[in-house]
Amino acid sequence: MAGLSFDEQREANIARNKALLATIGLSEEATALLPPRAVKPPKKKKQLQSKKRKAPTPEPEKDGDENTSDAPPAKVSRVESSGLRRSGRTAGKVVDYAGDGDKLPQGTRTPKLLTEAARKGATRSEGRIPDQRTQDPKQYGPIPGIKVGTWWESRLDCSKDAVHAPVVAGITCGPDGAYSVALSGGYEDDVDLGEGFTYTGSGGRDLKGTKQNPKNLRTAPQSSDQDWDNPFNSALQRSVESKKPVRVIRGFKLPSIFAPAEGYRYDGLYTVEKAWQERGLNAKGFLVCKFLFKRVAGQPPLPRCGEEEDENENEDEGEDEDGETTLEGETVAEQEKEPESDEETKVDGSNDSPPSATKNRGSGRQRRATKQ
DNA sequence: GGGCCCGCAGGG
DNA sequence: CCCTGCGGGCCC
């Protein structure tokens, strides 16, 4: 297996990944049916580029300022507020979360509920992201108060909500498997069918460059084999055995119709069905660790492309597409305590009313295709 | 639009 | 304390 061209190798890998997805009942055809608008017509790019940022505080850092959390509950809508952009490094620099001293006691930490907006089920995270983490990301299953479909502008915001702690890393390790993973592109032979996907592990990247050309990067192209000694990969391997659910977030860079147009979105819980190794799409064909994920049944349907939560508030239980009588009731486990609603009839997410979004942002993010 | 630092959170 | 990791902004 050395004579394959890049494209041939790519096709072979994708075919293999799809075949594995088929073993858990997922096919591309089924995926194509789901939404009315699977294929996205070319859209006209709208400005949307500027990352409006919630106004931090006029004063970069002021000592006094105790408990910043009492911020305005309302806030609402992600008003662009025109200018005002996250001035990265040069500006304030010291962002100092945790405000003054008061580091979390680590062991025992008062839960401290999220803001009203969060509990109410805001699909957007604006205005309610805590300055410092209020919940423990090192727990399996859903994060209390964070609904499926919650969206963040950045990985750091997602981290603050404890859904996926690392800011760069894609996998969070735990004793009985990974707590969470992030799908953000980066590997061309990963296949995302929404209800399931294949995922590539960590390691084998040349972050420090070469001796002659030293670098200090956070991500880089594959330069060696990935192995199971890698703590991230082994964690996902344990997930296969433990069957513990893994929180999944999809990022805007993911080349998939299930990727959010912007930012990062919590897509609920998945289980890792299988772990294996295969040749990656590297010129040298380095080995990569791969994993087969399957979405836990009974969760809100995944939005496609630009359609986040739309207005479809309660679409009743019209058992549409894939839903097909799954519902298992308690199968979803503690997805949330809602004893009254016997059926899944929309557990959470989906409802809510988008403040102003209306998201037309189709953001065409074309399918890969590069790398000819 | 690509290259390049550099901050953040976790683990060893 | 050092290193790693599917970010992200800035500069070129």
Q: Which residue is nearest to nucleotide B6 (CA to C1')?
A: A89
Q: Whole-number mean pLDDT of chain A?
A: 67
* pTM of the model as a whole: 0.66
Residue A371 has pLDDT above 80, yes or no: no
A330 CA → C4 C1’, Å: 39
Q: Could you check: is the Cβ of residue A172 within 7 Å of any atom of nucleic acid strand B?
A: yes
d(CA A256, CA A184): 10
Q: Could you check: is the Cβ of residue A37 within 7 Å of any atom of nucleic acid strand B?
A: no
A239, A177 contact by CB (below 8 A): yes
Q: Report CA-CA distances (Å) from A272 to A75, A139, A144, A179, A301.
A: 38, 16, 22, 11, 19
The region of weakest confidence among A176-185, A242-251, A259-268, A314-323 is A314-323
Q: Could you check: is the Cβ of residue A142 within 7 Å of any atom of nucleic acid strand B?
A: no
Q: Could you check: is the Cβ of residue A137 within 7 Å of any atom of nucleic acid strand B?
A: yes
Give the tens place of pLDDT for each residue, A217-229: 999 888 899 999 9
pLDDT score recorded for residue A80: 31
Residue A305 has pLDDT above 80, yes or no: no
Q: Could you check: is the Cβ of residue A49 within 7 Å of any atom of nucleic acid strand C?
A: no
The region of weakest confidence among A26-40, A146-160, A287-301 is A26-40
Q: Could you check: is the Cβ of residue A54 within 7 Å of any atom of nucleic acid strand C?
A: no
- As its CATH architecture, domain A1-28+145-207+217-305 has Roll (2.30)
Residue A42 has pLDDT above 60, yes or no: no
pLDDT score recorded for residue A186: 81
C strand bases under 7 Å from protein CB: 4-11
pLDDT score recorded for residue A1: 55
Distance separating the N- and C-terminal Cα atoms of chain A: 21
pLDDT score recorded for residue A273: 98
pLDDT score recorded for residue A51: 35
Q: Could you check: is the Cβ of residue A286 within 7 Å of any atom of nucleic acid strand C?
A: no
